[in-house]
Structure 1
Amino acid sequence: MSREKASQKHRVIEFVLWGAVILAGGYVLLPAAVELVQTRQQEGKEQADAAERERILRIEQQRLDLFSKDPDAAAKKAELLRLQSRKDNLEEETHD
Structure 2
Amino acid sequence: MKKCLMLIIGLLPLPLMAAESHVCQSQAYDYASIGSLRLSDDTVFTCRDIGRVTIPELAKRGWKVTHVAQQTEYTGEVDSDNEVIKVYQEIVVYKD
Structure ranking higher on relative contact order (CA contacts 8 Å, 6+ apart): 2
Larger radius of gyration: 1
Higher-helix-fraction structure: 1
Higher-strand-fraction structure: 2
TM-score (norm 1): 0.30
TM-score (norm 2): 0.30
